[in-house]
């Protein structure tokens, strides 16, 4: 596979990942749907997988970077499966509102499966030695990495405001640390 | 504590962007370790397990 095509495919993969993470952040800010600890863990796994895509785009198209994507996605898949199983018994409710008929954790599971499949396919068709170390990054790759970095920094801020330096509540209702900073009365 | 893996992954992304591949992988490993530790903490605390 030509190196240039691999970079564009990785850039498109990173943009798709940014789309999912951006939508989750949009839902959190606009509809005030605060992420639970398992939701945050799944976001973390998506960012972990994104690091592999960033390395494929900016450093080198290499098998070890696909390893990063696959390992991160397998861990994220376990987290998503745990959350699906928590709510699989009828009558036990669900966390958050569904999107296109599926809850976010089910979408996350499908995304992780897709990333594993995509990375495996790329491994099957790439040269065993990988590509040469890259000197320049195409604009699409730079844009995708910039967006990814903005999203991860936004999640650092959001998680700090929600959980502070400790563990997050199982069913969060407010940005506890922000309330604490602002001196609001309804802090748990 | 929950923010720690995000911090590691953001540093990994930034160092990867700057083409420092080995450093990015180091921060990715730190992030994965922190993330798995958080997952273990969440599972054991919600199930009230004590390993």
Is B51 part of any domain?
Answer: no
Alpha carbons A51 and A56: distance in angstroms, whole number = 9
Q: How far is A68 from chain B (nearest CA, A)?
A: 8
* Closest C-alpha among B24, B27, B25, B21 to residue B8: B27
Is A143 part of any domain?
Answer: yes
Considering only the C-alpha atoms of chain B, give the largest distance between any 2 of them, rounded to a whole number of Å: 43
Is A187 part of any domain?
Answer: no
Q: How far is B50 from chain A (nearest CA, A)?
A: 17
Residue with tokens 């953001």: B10
For residue B46, give the chain A residue with the closest CA: A170
- At A9 the pLDDT is 94
Contact A164, A176 (CB under 8 A): yes
- At A34 the pLDDT is 86
| Cβ within 8 Å, pair A64-B25 | yes
How many structural domains does chain A have? 1
% chain B with pLDDT above 90: 57
- At A31 the pLDDT is 87
Q: Chain B partners of A44 at a C-beta cutoff of 8 Å?
A: 5-6, 9, 31, 35, 38
State which residues form the domain around A92. Answer: 3-182
| Cβ within 8 Å, pair B35-A75 | yes
Is the pLDDT at A108 greater than 60? The verdict is yes
For residue A83, give the chain B residue with the closest CA: B43
- At A187 the pLDDT is 47
Dump pLDDT digits (tens) for A5-22.
Answer: 889 999 999 999 999 999
- At B50 the pLDDT is 57
- Does any CB of chain A come closer than 8 Å to the CB of residue B38? yes
Instruction: Give the domain CATH number at A112.
Output: 1.20.1550
Chains A and B form CB pairs within 8 A to the count of 106
Is the pLDDT at A185 greater than 90? The verdict is no
Is B16 part of any domain?
Answer: yes
How many structural domains does chain B have? 1
State which residues form the domain around B13. Answer: 4-46
Dump pLDDT digits (tens) for A31-80.
Answer: 888 888 889 999 999 999 999 999 999 998 889 999 999 999 999 999 99
Is A172 part of any domain?
Answer: yes
Residue stretches of chain B with pLDDT short of 70: 47-51
Residue to mutate among A46, A55, A175, with most B CBs inside 10 A, is A55
Dump pLDDT digits (tens) for B18-32.
Answer: 988 899 999 999 999
User: What mean pLDDT comes out for the span A155-183?
Assistant: 80
Q: How far is A121 from chain B (nearest CA, A)?
A: 22
Is A87 part of any domain?
Answer: yes
Residue A156 token pair:
């650092």
Alpha carbons B32 and A177: distance in angstroms, whole number = 25
């Amino acid at each position: 596979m030509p190196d240039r095509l691999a970079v564009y495919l990785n850039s498109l993969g990173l943009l798709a990942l940014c789309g999912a993470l951006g939508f989750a952040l949009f839902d959190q800010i606009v509809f005030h749907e605060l992420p639970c600890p398992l939701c945050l863990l799944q976001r973390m796994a998506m960012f972990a997988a994104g690091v592999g895509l960033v390395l494929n785009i900016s450093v080198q198209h290499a098998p070890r970077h696909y390893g990063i994507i696959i390992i991160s996605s397998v861990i994220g898949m376990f987290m998503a499966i745990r959350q699906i199983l928590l709510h699989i018994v009828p009558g036990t409710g669900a966390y958050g509102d569904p999107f296109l008929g599926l809850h976010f954790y089910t979408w996350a599971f499908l995304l992780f499966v897709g990333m594993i499949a995509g990375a495996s396919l790329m491994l099957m068709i790439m040269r065993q030695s990988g590509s040469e170390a890259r000197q320049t990054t195409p604009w699409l790759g730079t844009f995708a990495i910039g967006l990814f970095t903005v999203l991860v920094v936004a999640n650092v801020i959001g998680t700090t405001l929600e959980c502070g330096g400790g563990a997050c509540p199982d069913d969060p209702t407010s940005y506890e640390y922000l309330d604490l900073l602002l001196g609001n009365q309804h802090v748990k | 504590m929950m923010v720690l893996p995000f911090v590691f992954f953001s540093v990994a992304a930034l160092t990867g962007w700057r083409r420092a591949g080995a450093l990015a992988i180091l921060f990715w490993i730190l992030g994965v370790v922190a993330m798995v530790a958080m997952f273990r903490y969440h599972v054991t605390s919600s199930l009230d397990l004590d390993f």
